[in-house]
A = this chain, B = another copy of it.
Amino acid sequence: MLRIPTGHETLVTTDFSLEGIHFRREWDTPERIGHRCLTRGLSDIAAMGGEPVAVFLSLALPLKLPQGWVDGFARGVLKLARRFHVTLAGGDTASSPDGVLADIIVVGSVPKGQAILRSGARPGDRIYVTGLLGGAAQRIFELYSTSGKRRRAAHTPTPLPMPRIEIGRLLRERGLASAMIDISDGLSTDLSHICEASGLGADVWENAVPRAKLRSNQLADVRIALHGGDDYELLFTSPRKSRVPDRVGRVPITQVGEITPTGKVTLVDNNGARSKFAAHGWEHFSHDFSYRSRL
C-alpha cells in the first residue's frame, strides 16, 4: 500500500527492458543493465516534474540464467532506487521462454494540476535539452557497425544515464516548462511527440544541439545526437519571457530551437538550410539498427 501525499496526483509509468531489444547481456554488466532499466521509469516521472514514490519490478528469467547475473541486475536497480529514496515495493517473477524480460513500474506523485504535460507548448516557446546527447547511441552504433579495435573500444562502458528528477522538480516549482518529455527514443522522435500533442511545429538548430564527448575526445556524430535514443535527458519548452538557467549543478541546459505555429518540424543546418526533421529518423538512418523498439 502506498501513501500518496494529500493534494497530490498519482503518476504511473511502465517500461519494458527486453533482452535482444533494449539490451544485450554480452554488451554490458548486469548492474548497468539494471540501472538503465530503472532509469527508463524514473526518467518518465522526471519529465512530468514528479517525485518517485515506489518501484515495482516484473522480471521473467530464463531457467539457465546464472544467479550472479540476477544479483548484479538487482544491485543495479536497488542502488539507483536508493539514490532517489525510492523503495522496491513489489513485483512479479516468472520464468521466461527466451531471454531476460523486465518491466519496471514507477509510481510517483505531483501536486494536483501541476504535472508537466507534452501538450503545453505555445508558439514562440524556446526548446531546451538538459545534458549532452548521442553518447549512449554512439556506443551501440559502434558495437553494431564496427569491428576490430574500434569495436573493442566500444565495449568500454560509457557513463550511465542519470534520471533528471531534481531538474524536473526545479522546472515545475519555478513554472519554467510549458511542455516536457524525456529523450528516450531520440531528440527527433521525442520532439515530435511534444509537437503532435501541442498541435504545433518546431525549428531545431543543428549546430546548437549539445553533443556528448566520446572517449576518443571526439564529439558524438551529429546524426546520432539528433536521432539516437537512450540518453534520458529532458527536452522541454519554455515561454520566451522565462529565465531558464544555463546549468543546474553540473548539468548544462541548452536552447536547441523554438516552437513554431506551422505544424512542421524542421532542422536548420549551419548554413541556414531547412530540411524536414523527421521523427524516427534514426530508423531511416540505419535500417539494420533495431536496438530500439519502434512499435
**Chain A residues close to B by CB (< 8 Å):** 1-4, 6, 9-16, 18-22, 54, 56-58, 60-61, 89-99, 101, 103, 105, 107, 110, 112, 115, 290, 293-295
A-B contact pairs, 6 of them (CB 8 A): A2-B9, A12-B12, A12-B56, A14-B103, A16-B58, A95-B290
A211 to B99, CA, bound (A): 37
A94 to B20, CA, bound (A): 11
With A11-B1, A96-B21 already in contact, the answer to whether A16 and B60 are too (CB < 8 A) is yes
A143 to chain B, nearest CB (A): 17
Once the chains bind, are B97 and A15 in contact (CB under 8 Å)? no
A74 to chain B, nearest CB (A): 13
Looking at chain A's contact residues, the main secondary structure is: strand
A108 to chain B, nearest CB (A): 10
With A12-B56, A103-B16 already in contact, the answer to whether A95 and B293 are too (CB < 8 A) is yes
With A18-B101, A101-B101 already in contact, the answer to whether A12 and B95 are too (CB < 8 A) is no
Once the chains bind, are B21 and A94 in contact (CB under 8 Å)? yes
Once the chains bind, are A21 and B105 in contact (CB under 8 Å)? no
Once the chains bind, are A105 and B14 in contact (CB under 8 Å)? yes
A186 to chain B, nearest CB (A): 15
Within 8 Å by CB of A90, from B10, B12, B18, B21, lies B12
Residue on B nearest A293 in the bound complex, by CB: B94
Within 8 Å by CB of A10, from B1, B61, B115, lies B1
Once the chains bind, are A294 and B12 in contact (CB under 8 Å)? no
A89 to chain B, nearest CB (A): 7
Residue picked from A1, A13, A19, most chain B C-beta under 10 Å:
A1
